[in-house]
Amino acid sequence: MTAVAPPLDVARRVAGAAQGRPLLVLLDFDGTLCEFQPSPEKVWLRRPRREALQRLIAMPMVTTGFISGRRLSDLRERIGLTGDMWFAGLHGLEIEGFGRHFVHDRVEEAGGLLGVLGRALRQHVEHLPGVFIEDKELSIAIHVREARPEHKAEAEAAFRRMVTPHIEDGTLRMMPGSNVTELLPNIPWNKGDAAKWIRDAETGRRRADPATIYLGDDVTDEDAFAIVGAEGSIVVGPRPSDVETRLENPAAVEAFLVALADELSRRAG
């Protein structure tokens, strides 16, 4: 596993790579910008991180974007920033920013089935402490971070038992994450596709290819790392990854964002 890098060193490297070019800063939300909480409703962007991001958003040559498994509207509310930026929800199945709005044309296909499965799953696991079913309307996530090992195993077994027929017939797909498994419409689209869509939109908007970085903590972020490449990839936390640059935790991400804003301001002069 790669060693943890000092946030200031990472900020100076990113600022140097972006010298004379637009900079696109893309971030995951849960586990990257914010520490995990027992339930998704308790996660909000802390004020110092919001202030650091607001400084970046105000810089003419910097664009910020957020790519999350959350619904787009929920992500926007919890970030609470003002100004122009990109938001991508449901792992990029819905994207908006700068007057543009994208929803994958197949996203509604499995909506009714997911609603039925969500209600049934909730009944099957509601007796298990620490297990939480999150119904996002167009996806379902089972969270087991706070569950004991035996309860986690029971919940995951019930989840797989109920969803396997719909995965085998090609209607739905499972996406494993950090103590969460998500059920989505079986659409070949992920955070990497979202990162590419946003980067291409930025290239067209600015008429220049931006230097692009992506910060993420989860296995679902590996697709975005593949798109931005080794120089632009920053993994957050202890999860094993081939990414060469690692920040320790969301607090280190905060320090990186502050340092990046300071370094860009200093270089702009």
Residue 80's domain comprises: 7-104+189-268
Is the full-model pTM beyond 0.85? Answer: yes
- CA torsion, ordered 178, 179, 183, 188, to nearest 10 deg: 10
- Tell me, yes or no, whether 21 and 95 share the same domain: yes
Sign of CA dihedral 196, 197, 198, 200: positive
Each residue of 54-91: pLDDT tens digit?
999 999 999 999 999 999 999 999 999 999 999 999 99
Tokens linked to 140: 């379902």
Catalytic residue among 28, 193, 218, 223: 28
Tens of pLDDT along the chain (269 residues) come to 789 999 999 999 999 999 889 999 999 999 999 999 888 889 999 999 999 999 999 999 999 999 999 999 999 999 999 999 999 999 999 999 999 999 988 877 777 888 889 899 989 898 999 998 988 888 899 999 889 999 999 998 998 899 999 999 988 989 888 888 999 889 889 999 999 999 999 999 999 999 999 999 999 999 999 999 999 999 999 999 999 999 999 999 999 999 999 999 999 87
Each residue of 211-235: pLDDT tens digit?
999 999 999 999 999 999 999 999 9
What backbone torsions phi and psi does residue 132 show, to the nearest 5 degrees?
A: -135, 130
The answer to the question of residue 41 being in a domain is yes
3 burial (CB, 10 Å; 0-12 / 13-18 / 19+) is: exposed
Between CA 10 and CA 65, with CA 54 as vertex, the angle to 5 degrees is: 70
- CATH value at residue 43: 3.40.50.1000
- CATH value at residue 169: 3.30.70.1020
The answer to the question of residue 58 being in a domain is yes
Per-residue b/e over 141-170, b at no fewer than 16 CB within 10 Å? bbbbebbeeebbebbbebbeeebeebeeee
Q: Is 200 a catalytic residue?
A: no
- Tell me, yes or no, whether 243 and 133 share the same domain: no
Sign of CA dihedral 99, 103, 69, 17: negative
